[in-house]
């Protein structure tokens, strides 16, 4: 069964304090790994797709990396507006191409 | 920027009522999905559609039904609402199965 585990569950950072969020996964034939940002009362907002080990994607203060077993979302010099829940999801191969979501990391950045 | 809309945003209603949650997208995506999300929990797929007249049940058992008569519209219906249906319902669409899903802002449903 496909599984996604995100850690930590919650993270509190001072503004400017860089850190990383972890997404460990087991999936039968990874087709893609997705990172989303979710603000309270809103739907998830797509950030990145990673397809193969060694791939990296960047957007502003965020950088996502992928290995065969886990992905990291690195946050460099975060600002209070980066506060949100960050979700990781994996898509399996096969006909159904099921997407399995993790429970997320709730990030709070304090001014 | 994804354009996917859900209405209503919030709904508080009594037990036994019939409810339809609306979801529309303007991107022409063939694939659409309904998820249920409770606080602090992962998203659970309850229905999906790969195109017009195609609907399937997801992993999470649900008493709801869906229809896909038009590409842009994917409503979810509860024939008789119960307190156990209280949750947030998220609709999503994607261009293809391997492309990221784009989400609406959800309907927060409370059944009294």
Cα B41 from Cα B37, distance rounded (Å): 6
Enumerate chain A positions whose Cβ falls within 8 A of a Cβ in B: 4, 31-32, 34, 36, 41-46, 49, 87, 89, 91, 97-104
3 state SS for A70-106: EEEEEECCCCHHHCEEEEEEEEECCCCCCEEECCCEE
Strand segments (E) across B4-98: 4-7, 10-13, 19-25, 31-37, 44-51, 54-57, 65-66, 76-78, 87-94
Residues 45-74 of B with CB under 8 A from A: 45, 59
pLDDT on residue A6: 97
C-beta of residue B32 within 8 angstroms of C-beta of residue B92: yes
C-alpha distances out from residue A105 to A21, A56, A85, A109, B43, Å: 7, 20, 5, 13, 14
* pLDDT number for residue A96: 63
Of A4, A34, A104, the CB nearest to B100: A34
Please list the helix, strand and coil fractions of chain B in percent, rounded to the nearest 5, in that order.
5, 50, 45
Yes or no, beta carbons of A99 and B101 under 8 Å apart? yes
Average pLDDT of chain A, as a whole number: 94
Per residue of chain B (112 residues), what is the pLDDT tens digit?
Answer: 559 999 999 999 999 999 999 999 999 999 999 999 998 888 999 999 999 999 999 887 778 999 999 999 999 999 999 999 999 999 999 987 678 899 999 999 999 9
CB contact under 8 A, A103 and B40: yes
Q: What is the pLDDT of residue A9?
A: 96
Which residues of chain B have a CB within 8 Å of the CB of A91? 97-98
The answer to whether the Cβ–Cβ distance between A101 and B43 falls below 8 Å is yes
CA–CA separation, B79 vs B91, rounded Å? Answer: 19
Give the C-alpha distances (Å, rounded to integers) separating B77 from A33, A45, B12, B20: 31, 25, 15, 4
Q: B76 at the A interface (CB within 8 A)?
A: no
Nearest by CB to B98, which of A89, A97, A102?
A97
pLDDT value at position A98?
Answer: 80
Please report, for residues A2, A65, A91, the alpha-carbon distance to residue A27 in angstroms, rounded to integers and kept in the order given.
5, 17, 8
pLDDT-flagged residues of chain A (< 50): none
In whole angstroms, give the CA distance from residue B60 to residue A67.
Answer: 29
- What pLDDT, on the 0 to 100 scale, is given for residue B59? 81
């Amino acid at each position: 069964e496909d599984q996604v585990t995100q850690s930590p569950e919650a993270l509190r950072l001072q503004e400017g304090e860089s850190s990383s969020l972890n997404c460990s996964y087991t999936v039968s034939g990874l087709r893609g790994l997705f990172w989303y940002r979710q603000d309270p009362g809103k739907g998830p907002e797509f950030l990145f797709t990673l397809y193969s080990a060694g791939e990296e994607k960047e957007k502003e203060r965020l950088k996502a990396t992928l290995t065969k077993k886990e992905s990291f979302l690195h946050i460099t010099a975060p600002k209070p507006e980066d506060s949100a829940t960050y979700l990781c999801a994996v898509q399996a191969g096969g006909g159904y191409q099921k997407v399995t979501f993790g429970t997320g990391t709730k990030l709070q950045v304090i001014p | 920027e994804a354009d996917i809309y859900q209405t209503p945003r919030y709904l508080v209603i009594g037990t036994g009522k019939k409810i339809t949650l609306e979801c529309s997208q303007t991107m022409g995506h063939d694939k659409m999905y309904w998820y249920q999300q409770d606080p602090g929990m992962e998203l659970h797929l309850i229905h999906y559609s790969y195109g017009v007249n195609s609907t399937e049940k997801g992993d999470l058992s649900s008493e709801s039904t869906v229809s896909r008569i038009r590409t842009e519209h994917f409503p979810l219906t509860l024939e008789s609402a119960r307190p156990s249906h209280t949750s947030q319902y998220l609709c999503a669409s994607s261009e293809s199965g391997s492309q990221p899903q784009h989400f609406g802002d959800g309907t927060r449903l409370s059944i009294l």
